[in-house]
Structure 1
Amino acid sequence: MPAIPDRIALDEILSISRLVCGLWQVADLEKDGTLLDPEQGADALDAYARTGFDTFDMADHYGSAELITGRLLARYQHDPRPVALTKWCPEPGSMTADIVRKGVRERLDRLGVDKVDLLQFHWWTFEHPAWLDALHEMARLKEEGLIGAIGVTNFDAAHLALALADGVPIATNQVSFSLVDRRAAGALSDLCRARGVKLLAYGTLCGGFLADRWLGRPEPTAITDWSRSKYKRFIDTAGGWEAFQGILRAAAAIGRKHGVSVSNVATRWVLDHNAVAAAIVGARLGESEHRADNLKVFGFSLNAEDRAALDAAFAATKPIPGDCGDEYRRPPYLTASGDLSHHLDTIPSIYTAEPVPGRPGRSQVSSGSVWEPIAGYSRAVRVKDTICVSGTTATHAADRCIAPGDAGAQTTYILDKIAASISALGGSLEDVVRTRIYLRDAAQWEPVSRAHGCVFGDIKPANTLIETGALIGDYEVEIEAEAVVD
């Protein structure tokens, strides 16, 4: 059995452990307002680092995790030193160069380093397009040497593809991935394999539920731990406690055969997906340390019989709804609080609805395009319960074409823009009753249709797709929409 975890290269410079120590539980331990002692916390991390678990994942909102890790890094004056992966999760709004640089500088200062090894970006709603501004500015800071590699968190396949098509050099995407939540094994993994992006899997042990101690146990009723509260919601959504017990029974039988734990089986299953670089396991800084058991993950492999047993258990469960990251953006909110609507409702819209003078019951939104006053049109207009959205292209800010030449990526951006227009006028995508799609090249019908289906697969509005020939500039597709607000 290996003495240390396996490692994997994310690029020509950055190498990480295939088992990453997640520090989200620092926030849980500090939730009563009492901060952990930074030096004692660094002592605990050092114990991990010296046994090969030398890669730590944290975020700006994980309590004092960055400060504790900074104390650890200060003890290593020469390479190799532990690897620090952190996240920047700004509120949606204008993402100017100064705002992005300030967010990055704060990460550098808290970690006490000149360069963040991997900076991962999270965005709450793609209806606000400034996420692309933030990522492009991060790419410039990467060129300056302030960021080693750029990652994203909780990006679905469509928006990861959009960022890549727009030229953002993304190395990783951190998403939920486990025996319970298997969404990342589909379109997202396919995209990552094709484009060389690696997945960092969190939630691999479902907050500790994917463990022998829960086999045959009654369903818990009172949970105070933030992480466990979150993943109990995943279990409920995937079919409930009995369906989950079926997964545990299958994993336990496989574990007995190989002489390993349920947690080892759960982690090995995720790591075996070739789009996955690493699984993130919790580090409780002195509590519930399982380093010796975690190392067993690298001492066995799953065979076809093992995978068939797990597939049979999966058949009794329900897929987690939506694509990766949807749990943060739409119901069901599979988060520690169980509901993010209070947070998402406070996020400012990029558009502002204005009444039409002298026309009661009519309102409109403008995108600020220079062409709207010249040509005399609005981005969208609402009359009573009907919202009409003008033909929309993948134009970012004033005049930049997003993802030139990629019709599927442009469609994703356009539908976000349409959603924001409708939302500003009091509707939602669920209210859309018709879309019309105009293509430069009919041969691009499939990526455009698939992107449309990702958004409207359950809504199913009336739809028309037309090849129009030349569109202005580098635009491959233009879409208009109508919605009726019930």
Structure 2
Amino acid sequence: MPDTRLSAGKSPALPRVDLAPGLNIARLVCGLWQVADLEKDGSTLDPVKAADRLQAYAAAGFDSFDMADHYGSAEVITGELTSRPGMAHVTAFTKWCPEPGPMTPEIVRAGIQDRLDRLRTKRIDLLQFHWWSFEDPRWLDALREIEALRAEGLIGAIGVTNFDAAHLEVALAEGIEIVSNQVSFSLVDRRAAGALTALCKRWGVKLLAYGTLCGGFISEKWLGKPEPRDIPDWSRMKYKRFIDVAGGWEIFQELLAAAHEIGQKHGVSLSNVASRWVLDTPSVAATIIGARITEAEHRADNLQVFGFSLDAEDHAKLGAVFARMTMVPGDCGDEYRKPPFLTASGDLSHHLSELPPVHPALADAALADRARVFTGSKWEPIAGYCRAVKVGNRILVSGTTATHGDSHNVAPGNAGAQTTYILDKIVAALRAHGAGPEHVVRTRVYLVDAEDCEAVSVAHGRFFADHPPANTLLQVAQLIGPYRVEIEAEAILPA
């Protein structure tokens, strides 16, 4: 659908896409993460001068901007831009990445209001939510409140960022109207092409791909160059870790050489080849490119990505290199949630001071070898049980259903999504006792419908494939409550 809001002088060369009803965006979105790098010494950019640079992008058709609450003053700069006459066509996406903790209506509203105030707007075009650990189930509380704010008109559309396929499905099965998921996706990191793309196809969700040029490493500038040792900026520090885990600098040079050869064939840059490959994935609505506020701009080169197509020979050439590379482990977003942490610092230290435990382990005053974890279920005090009890080095986890809070049935009717939620809950209880999924030695799974066996087994495999426990799966006539699956577990810590 063409954009009817284009202002005079704007180039028609940049294709557009409807991300949601009323949200028409450029297929190249300008990312403002550079602001955080420029301000990491404590200084702040002049918002007027910085907005002048962004206005030049908007005038050239690059009028969709992506930022986050932790991208320095990016929201303030964008608010200055969108407040100017003639800039009503600019779309602003921002992310809310709260620290783990209670997600009450008041806390969520305050977080979103801060975004509104900094952007100087009454309605956020696309609010994207990030959560640091799915073992903390309060991310569902946050998304429900965000959905309520969308219905209220403070948010135009809801997106998420760095969600893996399993947890995106939980959110969708909960009825949250999610239109997009922003994830790392490049020739180096191809995780999004698998289960996540398949899920997006089923649910109609689009991907916003970042890291497509690996912080600038995927360019002629690095072709044939020695491996860098001193990397000054956060973005390149992060993507160098991706390159390392994908096989290292030598195979990365082979990838650059293949992309360069393809680019020579089509008369474009190897960066264009890398972007074209990602944009050709059916689930991808747009790629996010860095908006240069103080450095050289590359708008003309970026537009070349839409002037050619990759053919079968090109895909075969890239595929031959892919076959010799190592896949980045796990699913999208795992780089923020489990080792190896593929972040600038190799952990979450520049994002969070700590990840507090979801539920504490309470020592038994009478029996010194025992401790218990309670998860707040209304049935725990009524029936006199706990979620998990530790006796010596053995941890026993009660039968667990997809119950959130006192009584909410998570992802009704979706056994695979319920399994994901249940196992998150079980792992959170284990963490309180100093254990993890690697310490689980037995699980028992109870299904109402044998047709759910595959979906439940796939979800189980995501948690335990690296350290498989003994497992029993049973079909039962009925579970207590409207649940499709219930799971119990046993773990043993090293002596």
Tell me how far 1:288 sits from its aligned partner. 2.4
Tell me if the contact between 1:90 and 1:123 (Cα under 8 Å) persists in the aligned partners.
Answer: yes
Task: Look up the equivalent residue of 1:26 and give its one-letter code.
Answer: V
Tell me how far 1:474 sits from its aligned partner. 1.2
Tell me how far 1:349 sits from its aligned partner. 2.0
Out of 17-26 and 280-289, give the one that drifted further: 280-289
Tell me how far 1:341 sits from its aligned partner. 6.6
Q: Which residue of 1 aligns with 2:47?
A: 38
1:442 partnered with 2:444 = no
Q: Which residue of 2 aligns with 1:378?
A: 386
Tell me how far 1:371 sits from its aligned partner. 1.2
TM-score (norm 2): 0.96
Q: Which residue of 1 aligns with 2:400?
A: 392
Aligned residues: 484
Task: Look up the equivalent residue of 1:29 and give its one-letter code.
Answer: L
Q: Which residue of 2 aligns with 1:239?
A: 247
Tell me if the contact between 2:76 and 2:118 (Cα under 8 Å) persists in the aligned partners.
Answer: yes
Alignment of 1:256-271 (within 5 A): 256-271=264-279
SS at 1:10's partner residue?
Answer: strand
Q: Which residue of 2 aligns with 1:272?
A: 280
Tell me how far 1:342 sits from its aligned partner. 8.6
Q: 2:462 aligns with which of 441, 446, 454?
A: 454
SS at 1:479's partner residue?
Answer: strand
Tell me if the contact between 2:81 and 2:87 (Cα under 8 Å) persists in the aligned partners.
Answer: no
Tell me how far 1:440 sits from its aligned partner. 0.8
Q: Distance in 1 between matches of 2:172 and 2:218?
A: 34
Q: Distance in 2 between matches of 1:117 and 1:236?
A: 36
Q: 1:348 aligns with which of 356, 361, 374?
A: 356
Task: Look up the equivalent residue of 1:24 and give its one-letter code.
Answer: W
TM-score (norm 1): 0.98
Tell me how far 1:78 sits from its aligned partner. 6.7
Tell me if the contact between 2:180 and 2:205 (Cα under 8 Å) persists in the aligned partners.
Answer: yes
1:429 partnered with 2:429 = no
Deviation digits for residues 301-360 of structure 1, max 9, x if unmatched? 101110010000111110001110000011111111112279668222221111112101
Task: Look up the equivalent residue of 1:30 and give its one-letter code.
Answer: E
Percent identical among aligned pairs is 65
Tell me if the contact between 1:3 and 1:295 (Cα under 8 Å) persists in the aligned partners.
Answer: no
**Cα–Cα, structure 1 residues 243 and 227, in superposed 2: closer, same or farther, change >3 Å?**
same
Q: Distance in 1 between matches of 2:87 and 2:369?
A: 68
SS at 2:455's partner residue?
Answer: helix
**Cα–Cα, structure 1 residues 473 and 307, in superposed 2: closer, same or farther, change >3 Å?**
same
Tell me how far 1:426 sits from its aligned partner. 1.2
Q: Which residue of 1 aligns with 2:305?
A: 297
1:485 partnered with 2:477 = no
In structure 2, the gaps of 5 or more residues are: 1-10
SS at 2:166's partner residue?
Answer: helix
Q: Which residue of 1 aligns with 2:4?
A: none
Deviation digits for residues 166-196 of structure 1, max 9, x if unmatched? 1111000000000000000000000001100
Q: Structure 1 segments of 4 or more deviating over 3 A? A: 76-79, 341-345
Task: Look up the equivalent residue of 1:371 and give its one-letter code.
Answer: W
Q: Distance in 1 between matches of 2:322 and 2:296?
A: 28
Q: Which residue of 1 aligns with 2:114?
A: 106
Tell me if the contact between 2:99 and 2:352 (Cα under 8 Å) persists in the aligned partners.
Answer: no
In structure 1, the gaps of 5 or more residues are: none
Task: Look up the equivalent residue of 1:261 and give its one-letter code.
Answer: S
Task: Look up the equivalent residue of 1:268 and give its one-letter code.
Answer: R
Q: Distance in 1 between matches of 2:79 and 2:252?
A: 39
SS at 2:48's partner residue?
Answer: helix
Tell me how far 1:4 sits from its aligned partner. 2.9
1:11 partnered with 2:20 = yes
1:188 partnered with 2:196 = yes
Tell me if the contact between 1:100 and 1:137 (Cα under 8 Å) persists in the aligned partners.
Answer: yes
Q: Which residue of 2 aligns with 1:135?
A: 143
1:67 partnered with 2:76 = yes
Q: Distance in 2 between matches of 1:78 and 1:49?
A: 8
